[in-house]
Structures are given as structure tokens and as C-alpha cells.
Chain A
Amino acid sequence: MSDASGATSGVTAMGRFLANLREIPKTFRESLVRGGAPTTDRTRSSFVFGNVFLHLHAVRTHRWSLRWSTTAGLGIMSVAAFLITLITGVLLMFYYKPYPDAAYVSIKDLHFVVPTGRFIRNIHRWAANVMVVAVLLHMARVFFTGAYRKPREFNWLVGMGLLAITLGLSFTGYLLPWDQLAYWAITIGANIAQSPREVTDALKITEYFDPGGLQRLLLLGSSDVGEEALIRFFLLHVMILPLALVALLGVHMWRVRKDGGIARPDDADARLGPPPADTYPVFTEAPQKTYQIAAIVKGKTPAVGKGPENTVPSMPHLFYAEMGVFMLTVLICTALALVSDAPLKELANPNVPENPAKAPWYFLGLQELVAYSAFMGGIGIPSIVLLGLGLIPYLDREKEGTGLWFGGPGGVPLVLLSTVYGFGTAFALEAFAIRFGWIREWWPDVPQLVITAINPGTVLTALYAGFSIWAVKRWGSTRAGALALFTCFLCGFILLTVVGQHFRGPNWVFYWSPSEWPGH
């Protein structure tokens, strides 16, 4: 031990120890955020790129992206809802037992016995629904602002994958309580998966080629919904799909940044005008580091070829917005959880079918179509829709209206017209089919393939397609056709979902209200 230093500074080792102890909060803070407090442009930047989670964001964000009307926060809301389901889901897993009957009892225990179990389960259920809604609305937002266009085509496809995983997560979670609702909803879902049989049966080739049966078998792991299906759904729900979602979500958000941030019109700066007085000033201090890092990246990054005048540091502007939306989502989910309990019906009973057995709400539009033709409703039309959605960014190569709500040829009037047309035709077809029946009721001996080809679902699809082609010709623009088609399908989806949810009773018969169902 050298007592020279101690002697020169006049401080004992013990004194240094105590001083270090006192300074722990400060040194810990410094070690946590190495660049120092985010008070200057430079430290704000390093706050973002020095953090493993935050560096998915650009260090600066365009003011256009921060306007509420640009995104309505829907993307973040989807992520927030996912995080909520993740946390609550892990908590639920402490009590859940993925085995028939035991599963039901464990959910009953969660509901009635486990402290805060009911609350957590309610939050989980509501967050799941919020997530589905937010993802669908986010997709609509991206479409209507033309944000799928070059250079964001691929990210649109990634987004479609995320939509599919979101629905898959929600659907697999539906079975886990193992009650009547779950059991029969999943039975319906499995039957939808089996719907190609309608065609193979009609062609009398099911014996040799049975993709429908195979799909159902893969989904359920058995001929019926049973313990195999439950463990499969459980594994998909708690492991495979969440992992896939996280991976794809990383790609999705990273691509948002790499594809040039949130889409905005070319004249966004002009539209925004000068920044308001309370915005953090830009380059208030002499930059100690140039933005060369941005220049390395190819393509339309926010910083290339433009001054950073209309961007603001992501820390704190973007993070306040994101935190705000996150907390708003938590608020919505907890409020709904306090008001409304997640459903739990009787123990699953394979001998007593629920009538009506309904799929989860977001599949009720499909179930409505399945009621007309299992193949078209379950496979045909969804495939057409998915294919159409995927192709949109590659067919619409226009530039006009990117970043603006309902931008592009046709604009708001076309969307309004499409809304009227979309709801009108779907309503008229449903009303007709409910009032007068369909081909099978008129000529009972018609071959099934005729009905597979001609049913309210396919007729509606054809009407929408025709309208879209008309829009392409009328405005001389692919974007106009896409606007028309997307709006129509959105309206059709909403209308069919509402009909399936509210107006269909036992045996899928039309009722004005569930209170009129027999047996209540």
C-alpha cells in the first residue's frame, strides 16, 4: 500500500470509498447513457443510436411524421397492444395448463380464484382485440396515404405477413380456454381450413387428392378438436407465432427507417410551413459531428439532398409521441378490462354443438361467405384478396398523392363513391340472398361446382372488380382502381362481419337481433 497518494491528496482510502458510494447514482447514470444527458442535438442523437432498442429509429424525425393526422399512431398502437398481450400472456401462463378439461378448470381458477387473474385475462383479451383492430386500421392508413409505393413495396408485404400472424395469434388463443365458445369456434375454423374439399368432392377426387383434409389435419393434429389440437394451438400461440411476429416486426420497423421514414408528400416542407416557436431549435450549437453517417446510406433517406431543417431530434419528440400512444393503448385495454369480462362459457362438450357456432369476430365475414360456399369463402376469395393486396404496390407505380390521405387520382370523391358502392352492393346481395335464397333453394339439383362458382361472395368480388376496372378507365390511373377496390373490400368486410356477428342466429338463419333467437 502506498501512502504517498493518500498523503499528497490528504484523502484516505476509506474516504474515497465513501465518496464513490455517494456518487453511485451519478456514475450509474453516466454508464447507462454514455453520451451524457440528451440536452444537445449531439447527445440526443447518441441517446438514440447508443441504445439497442431505440436505434431502430432514425435519430431525427421529420415533423410531417409526427403530425397526428399522418399515422394516427396506429402502427405504434399495434406494437403496444402486442407488448401488452406479451406481458399479460406470460403472466397467464403461470396458471394455464394446456390439457383438455384441465385447461378449462385453470381458466376458471384464473377467473375466480387467482388474485387479479380476471383483470389480467381481461386485459390480455382486450389487447388482443385492440391489436387486430389497430393492425387492420394501420393497413388501411398505409393504403389510403399511398405509403405502400416505391420504395416501400416490400415493407407492405412484410406488413401483410404481420397481419396474418396477428390473426393467427388471436385465433390460436381462442381455443385455449377450452369452453364451448372456443371449441366450436375452432371447429368452424378447422372446417374453413378443410373447405377445398367442396371442390375436390364435387370433382370426386377427394380420395386421391385432399388438400382440405390435410390442412385440417395439420391444424388439429387429429380428426377432431381434441388434446392434440389444444397443444398445437398452445405452442403456436405462446411460442412459434410470437417469435415469428417479433422477428418480422423487427424487419418491418427497420425497413420503415431504411425506406425513408413515414411516407410524406414531396412538398411536405412547404405544407408544414416554418416550425413553431416551441420546437427544439435545429443546430443550436456547432455540430461536433457531421451527418456523414446518413450520407453513406443509399436511397431516399431523410437527410440526403435536403437540409435537416424540418426534422426534429427523435429524442424526445418521437419518443414522447410513441410513449403517449403506448400509454393510451394501455389505458384503452385496462378500461375495457375493467368494464367487460372476457367470455367463458361451459366446458367444451363435443356432443352438444353450439348453435350458432361462430368463429372469432374477424373471421365472421369469411364465415358468412362460407355459409354460401365453403371453398370460395374459406379459400377462394381470401386468396384473391391476399393476392390483390400483395400486387397493389407493384401495379401502382404512380407518384401523385403519396403521403396524403386519399391521395392520387380520384381522391376523396372516388373513396366516397366506392364506400357507397361497396356497402350498397354488399347490402343488396345479402338482402337478396336472405330474402330470396340462392341457387340451391331454387334448383336443389344444381351441381355444387355451379354454386362454388356463382354465389353471393363471388358475385360481390366480381362486382367490386368490375367497379375497380371502371375506376381505372375513368381516371386513367391504377391508383384510382386500387382505391376503389380496397375501399370496396373494406366495406364488404365490415358489412359481412356485422351481419355474421349480429344478424345470424341458430343454423345461420337471419334474425334482426340475438334477442329473437329461439331458445333464449
Chain B
Amino acid sequence: MKKNKHLLLWSSLGVLALLVVAAVQENFFKEWRRHQLRADSLAEHGIDVRLRQVVVPSLNVMDRCVSCHVGMAPGEPAIAGDKVLGAHKPVVHDPAEFGCTVCHGGQGRATERADAHGDARHWPEPMIPAKYAEAGCGTCHTHIEVPNYELVLRGEKLVERYDCLSCHALDGRGGTLRPLAAATVTSPDLTYVGVRGYDAQWYEKHVAKRAASPDGPWHASFGDIPEMDREALRVLLDSRVGTPRLVEAKALFHTLGCRGCHKIGGVGGEDGPDLTREGEKDPGLADFTHVPGPRSLESWFKAHFRAPATVVPGSKMPEFSLTEEQIDLLTLYMFSLRRSDLPEAYWPKDRIRVVRFGASEFSRDGETLYGTFCASCHGAAGEGMRFAGMTAFPAIASEGFLALASDRFIAETIRKGRPGRRMAAWGHANGLTDEEVGKVVAHLRALGNGVMPAAPDDLAERLGGEKARGAALYAEHCTGCHGKTGEGGEGTALNNSVLLATATDRYMAETIRLGRPGTSMPTFGMASTVRPALASDEIAAIVAHIRTWEVTR
């Protein structure tokens, strides 16, 4: 009896103690309470200590982030310089109108740091890391328009060179000099100029103002800008929508040829996974076996960019030699591929333009098109690529190739691809228009110093070689690389229907005679130490043999 009484007494006291502990934990040791108490003591008039939230029913947002970040709550005082209690950076969108998680991800309803930031294990949407915060724009601005990468970079350099920053602020820099403050004219901040628009006659007006003031700042800090540089500056200004890093990242993405294999929003190749929603990938479902560092999407993306096949066994994605800066930018872009299912009322202009009216989200000049779809395999300068474990990708901007290939041949190849090889057909509805294919061809010619084929482009022309003799010669010289029936191997597939339908006899014969510098294709027209030179009639015979694989219909 006494033992049982003690058991009852002490267990009950124990339960009571635990419940008190739980209650105190749940009510008083909440992190947000601590932050708010701090804000209360720091703010001039103090604040109410209570749970706060931003509710936006139409976005399905109920964000309690402002319980800790109380300085960002509507109408509450911010503590300047405080990491938690400070005000939100000035942005176009009012957090009170959009909530927090729409841009930053994370768990809006949670009230503890780890939970809210999505660091809790198995939380499917962790916060976008602060250094990639601009990626959050991608949630709504899925189709931010990006210009040609080179032009953006040039524009950024020109802004420095022409000293624009001494008067104008841009992306949080510059604008300190304000030489016109005395004249009560302020130089506008250019950070959002791509959204808000600007006077197309700005240059002429600047020149006129300089002419009007014989001395002073106008005279000292503004000089002539040549037409070409003005064009680069225009491209830069159009792209200033408040997310310079995201624009740069997206522009870079469109120079590396990623869309050659990956689809985003329905545009791109099919060799690799669709990246449309890559940024909202659940880290719980990613394989971190071979990813060093913390278990985060950031580590995963970076490790994957460094060595794709290590992170995803069996991946066909080549290992690009990217700089750390490039990897950082690409990681940012990956995070921005979020595409939340927003009500259409919230769709920004750029998204509607692309989704509803079929506009393009990237510049459609030849260089950017080549960079978007071709560069990953054929190299940034068309120099061809070799990746371990893959057949070499042809150097399509080599002068040897361009001297033989007609525009028609290259364009047809781009449109129809090479069935059975990794070269996809780009002539489909979501791919390239005939005009764009022409731009890409022109860009290739530019890369190859404008070399044009000398011989006429005559598909019907036959060199009239002896098939039987050609078969023997082919077996002797070509099978090693091109396969017994032209199925390809180290060399390209020659029995390919598109190749046979688009290449002229002369193209093939000349290629055999001259070889393809930079690839394994030797110069059969010249003798080497191990074999004699092939005569013209022998080459014609081989071509005739290759023609036998053509499917006649």
C-alpha cells in the first residue's frame, strides 16, 4: 500500500513536472518571443509581443515569418542593422501583399527557425539560400526575358568605362556623386529601369545637356558613346529588372547549350530530364550518396555541375569545365526554376507574353540560339567536344568542314537531326523556325571566319565510282571507325538516312580526301607511313559504296 502510494505520488509529480516543462517550452521559450522582446526593448515605442502573420488567401499564403522578422511586419518598426529584426530590403513587391514564402520558399506556418527555414529533415521545400535569394523571382517571373550574354557583360563593362555610376545608381552601386543635386535634378536610379522604362532619346538629351553647360559635372563626366556601345547599353538597361544576378545566370545558361538536352517550359531537347521545376525539387527525393558537404539542394546542384555522372550514376551529361563563378550562377538559375501554380491574376507580363503569346524568353540572335541549343556538344566556338565515354561531337565551325558544307546541308542537318545519334532534330514546333536555323548557320559561318564552300551544292551529282571496288576499299580503310555497314563507332554513322539525303557526293569525297582536322578522320588524299594516298577514282568508289545504303523509295 505504501509502495503503491509512493508510486502514485511520484509518477503524478513527474507527469506534472513534464507537462509544466512542455507547457513552458511551448509558450514561453519560443524563439519568436525572444526576438520580439528584443525588438520591444530596442524600438522607440516598443511593440506588442504576439504571434504575427501575413495572410494572402488568393496565394494560399499564411506566413508567420514576421513573428521573428518583426521589422518586416506591416506597420511595425524595424531595427536598423539587425539581422533578424531589420527591415526588408527595398523591393518592388510589398511583403505585406505577397507574403514571404512565395519568393523565399520555406515553411510559412512554422514558428521555429529550423522548421520555418525548412532545415527540418524531410521538409520538401526548404528556403532558397539567402545568397541565391534572387532565384525566388523565378516563382512568378518564370520567363524573365534575357538578352545575349556577351552583350550584357559588355554593357556592364561599359557602364564602368563611361562612368555612368558616378551619377546613376545601378543594382545597389554608384550614384554617390550626384553632381546635379545643386541644380535640383536627380539622376535616376537605373536598377528597375527595365521595368519602369526610360527615355529612348536619353543619349541625345545627355549630349544636348553637355552642350548647354560649358563646364561643371556635365562637361566633366559625360563623353561621346559610339553607336555600338550604345546598343550594348540599351540591352543592359532593358535587362535591369531588379534581379541582375538572375538575369546574368539565365543569360549564361543560354550560352552553354543546356537546352540542347533539357526542356524548360516545353522548349529544349529530350536527352536529359525536364528542368521546368528543378528548383522546387524535394531534397528528400534526391540522391545524396556522392554529394559532399551538407545535405542541401545547393550542394547537390554544385556537385552535379562539377561531375554529373558521379552524382547521378549513368548520367549522359558531360563534365563541363565550369568556373566556380559559373557554377554559382547556374545553381542560382536552377533554384529559380520553380514555376509555382499561381492564379493567373498574379502572372507577370513576361510570363503571359511567353505562355499566351508565344514570345521567346531568351534573345533569338544567332549567337544566343547557338549558345542555347548547340554549345554543350559542339563547343562554344564550334570546336567540337570530346567527353570521356562518349563519341566525339563534331567540330562544326572548323574551316575544313565549312569549306565543304553548304548552308543547305547544315540547315537540313539542324532541322532533321541525325536519327540514332544524339543530334536531335530542331525543326519541330517548339524548336527553331527556318529563319532561326538560318541565323544559327550564319553564326557558324562567322565562327569559321566566313568560309564558304567553293563547289556548287548539287545533290543530284554522282561521281560515278565502282561500287564493288568501293566496298573493298571501304572494308580496308573505313570500317575501323565507321563500322562495317556504316553504323558508326568512333566515327560518325554513314548509313544515316538524313546524312545520305542531305550530303552531296562531292561533300563526302572531299571530306575523305581532306580529312577533318581536329577529329580522328585522317587525310586520305595524302599518303601516310602506313598507307598510300587514295586516288580520286578510289574515293569516288567509296562514295558509291556508301550510297548503296541509301534507302530508295
A346 partner residues in chain B, CB cutoff 8 A: 122, 124, 282, 284-285
Of the candidates B7, B11, B26, B111, the one whose C-beta lies within 8 Å of that of A330 is B11
Whether the pair A278, B3 counts as a contact (CB closer than 8 A) is no
Contacts A66-B1, A320-B4 known; 12 new A-B pairs at CB < 8 A: A109-B109, A112-B107, A112-B110, A180-B284, A280-B1, A312-B1, A317-B1, A320-B8, A324-B5, A327-B8, A331-B15, A519-B289
Whether the pair B110, A327 counts as a contact (CB closer than 8 A) is no
A119 at the interface (CB under 8 A from B): yes
Q: How many angstroms from the CA of A334 to the CA of B285 in the assembled complex?
A: 32
Q: A331-B15, A334-B18 are in contact. Are A113 and B287 (CB under 8 A)?
A: no
Whether the pair B22, A119 counts as a contact (CB closer than 8 A) is yes
10 smallest CB-CB distances across A and B, nearest first, come from A324-B7, A327-B11, A346-B284, A324-B8, A320-B4, A321-B4, A328-B11, A519-B289, A113-B109, A112-B110
Q: How many angstroms from the CA of A327 to the CA of B21 in the assembled complex?
A: 17
Interface flags, B255-286, vs A, CB<8A=1, else 0: 00000000000000000000000000010110
Whether the pair A119, B11 counts as a contact (CB closer than 8 A) is no
A331 partner residues in chain B, CB cutoff 8 A: 11, 14-15, 18
Q: How many angstroms from the CA of A327 to the CA of B8 in the assembled complex?
A: 6
Whether the pair A518, B107 counts as a contact (CB closer than 8 A) is no
Considering the complex, give the chain B residue whose CB is closest to the CB of A68. B3
Whether the pair A112, B109 counts as a contact (CB closer than 8 A) is yes
Q: How many angstroms from the CA of A330 to the CA of B3 in the assembled complex?
A: 18
Considering the complex, give the chain A residue whose CB is closest to the CB of B18. A334
Whether the pair A335, B122 counts as a contact (CB closer than 8 A) is no
Whether the pair A349, B1 counts as a contact (CB closer than 8 A) is no
User: Distance in Å from the Cβ of B22 to the closest Cβ of chain A?
Assistant: 5
Please list the residues of chain B having a beta carbon within 8 angstroms of any beta carbon in chain A: 1-8, 11-12, 14-15, 18-19, 21-22, 26, 107, 109-111, 115, 120, 122, 124, 282, 284-285, 287-289
Interface flags, A304-335, vs B, CB<8A=1, else 0: 00000000100011001101110110110011
Of the candidates A180, A328, A338, A349, the one whose C-beta lies within 8 Å of that of B22 is A338
Whether the pair A323, B110 counts as a contact (CB closer than 8 A) is no
B19 partner residues in chain A, CB cutoff 8 A: 334
Considering the complex, give the chain A residue whose CB is closest to the CB of B7. A324
A280 partner residues in chain B, CB cutoff 8 A: 1
Interface flags, A454-467, vs B, CB<8A=1, else 0: 00000000000000
Q: A112-B115, A278-B1 are in contact. Are A338 and B7 (CB under 8 A)?
A: no
Please list the residues of chain A having a beta carbon within 8 angstroms of any beta carbon in chain B: 66, 68, 109, 112-113, 115-116, 119, 179-180, 278-280, 312, 316-317, 320-321, 323-325, 327-328, 330-331, 334-335, 338, 344-347, 349, 352, 518-520
Q: A115-B26, A327-B12 are in contact. Are A278 and B124 (CB under 8 A)?
A: no
14 A–B contact pairs at CB < 8 A?
Answer: A66-B4, A109-B109, A179-B122, A317-B1, A324-B8, A330-B11, A331-B11, A334-B18, A335-B14, A338-B21, A338-B22, A345-B122, A345-B284, A519-B287
A520 partner residues in chain B, CB cutoff 8 A: 289
Say whether chain A's binding surface is mostly helix, strand, loop, or mixed. Answer: helix
Whether the pair B15, A320 counts as a contact (CB closer than 8 A) is no
Of the candidates A119, A320, A334, A519, the one whose C-beta lies within 8 Å of that of B5 is A320
A113 partner residues in chain B, CB cutoff 8 A: 109-111
Whether the pair A334, B15 counts as a contact (CB closer than 8 A) is yes
B1 partner residues in chain A, CB cutoff 8 A: 66, 278-280, 312, 316-317, 320
Whether the pair B285, A352 counts as a contact (CB closer than 8 A) is yes
Q: A345-B122, A346-B282 are in contact. Are A327 and B15 (CB under 8 A)?
A: yes
B107 partner residues in chain A, CB cutoff 8 A: 112
A335 partner residues in chain B, CB cutoff 8 A: 14, 18
B122 partner residues in chain A, CB cutoff 8 A: 179, 344-346
User: Distance in Å from the Cβ of A64 to the closest Cβ of chain B?
Assistant: 14
Whether the pair B7, A325 counts as a contact (CB closer than 8 A) is yes
A327 partner residues in chain B, CB cutoff 8 A: 7-8, 11-12, 14-15
Considering the complex, give the chain B residue whose CB is closest to the CB of A120. B22
User: Distance in Å from the Cβ of A220 to the closest Cβ of chain B?
Assistant: 24
Q: How many angstroms from the CA of A297 to the CA of B8 in the assembled complex?
A: 33
Whether the pair A324, B11 counts as a contact (CB closer than 8 A) is yes
Considering the complex, give the chain B residue whose CB is closest to the CB of A312. B1
A344 partner residues in chain B, CB cutoff 8 A: 122
Whether the pair A116, B109 counts as a contact (CB closer than 8 A) is no
Q: How many angstroms from the CA of A316 to the CA of B4 in the assembled complex?
A: 10
Considering the complex, give the chain A residue whose CB is closest to the CB of B19. A334
Whether the pair A330, B15 counts as a contact (CB closer than 8 A) is yes
Considering the complex, give the chain B residue whose CB is closest to the CB of A329. B11
Whether the pair B285, A349 counts as a contact (CB closer than 8 A) is yes
Q: How many angstroms from the CA of A317 to the CA of B12 in the assembled complex?
A: 17
Considering the complex, give the chain B residue whose CB is closest to the CB of A351. B285
User: Distance in Å from the Cβ of A352 to the closest Cβ of chain B?
Assistant: 6
User: Distance in Å from the Cβ of B528 to the closest Cβ of chain A?
Assistant: 50
User: Distance in Å from the Cβ of A273 to the closest Cβ of chain B?
Assistant: 16
Considering the complex, give the chain A residue whose CB is closest to the CB of B62. A113
Whether the pair B18, A338 counts as a contact (CB closer than 8 A) is yes
Whether the pair B26, A116 counts as a contact (CB closer than 8 A) is yes
B6 partner residues in chain A, CB cutoff 8 A: 324
User: Distance in Å from the Cβ of A259 to the closest Cβ of chain B?
Assistant: 24
User: Distance in Å from the Cβ of A514 to the closest Cβ of chain B?
Assistant: 15
Q: How many angstroms from the CA of A115 to the CA of B115 in the assembled complex?
A: 14
User: Distance in Å from the Cβ of B379 to the closest Cβ of chain A?
Assistant: 35
User: Distance in Å from the Cβ of A230 to the closest Cβ of chain B?
Assistant: 19
Q: How many angstroms from the CA of A212 to the CA of B124 in the assembled complex?
A: 36
B289 partner residues in chain A, CB cutoff 8 A: 518-520
Q: How many angstroms from the CA of A113 to the CA of B14 in the assembled complex?
A: 27
B4 partner residues in chain A, CB cutoff 8 A: 66, 317, 320-321, 324
A66 partner residues in chain B, CB cutoff 8 A: 1, 4
Considering the complex, give the chain B residue whose CB is closest to the CB of A517. B289
A68 partner residues in chain B, CB cutoff 8 A: 3
User: Distance in Å from the Cβ of A400 to the closest Cβ of chain B?
Assistant: 30
A321 partner residues in chain B, CB cutoff 8 A: 4, 7
A352 partner residues in chain B, CB cutoff 8 A: 285
User: Distance in Å from the Cβ of B54 to the closest Cβ of chain A?
Assistant: 15
Residue of B11, B115, B282, B284 most packed against chain A (CB within 10 A): B11
B285 partner residues in chain A, CB cutoff 8 A: 346, 349, 352
User: Distance in Å from the Cβ of A356 to the closest Cβ of chain B?
Assistant: 15
B124 partner residues in chain A, CB cutoff 8 A: 346-347
Whether the pair B8, A323 counts as a contact (CB closer than 8 A) is yes
User: Distance in Å from the Cβ of A301 to the closest Cβ of chain B?
Assistant: 23
Q: How many angstroms from the CA of A214 to the CA of B107 in the assembled complex?
A: 42
Q: How many angstroms from the CA of A317 to the CA of B7 in the assembled complex?
A: 13
Q: How many angstroms from the CA of A175 to the CA of B285 in the assembled complex?
A: 19
Considering the complex, give the chain A residue whose CB is closest to the CB of B1. A317
Q: How many angstroms from the CA of A180 to the CA of B6 in the assembled complex?
A: 44
Q: How many angstroms from the CA of A66 to the CA of B1 in the assembled complex?
A: 8
Q: A345-B284, A346-B285, A352-B285 are in contact. Are A328 and B7 (CB under 8 A)?
A: yes
Considering the complex, give the chain A residue whose CB is closest to the CB of B289. A519
Whether the pair A278, B26 counts as a contact (CB closer than 8 A) is no
User: Distance in Å from the Cβ of A434 to the closest Cβ of chain B?
Assistant: 24
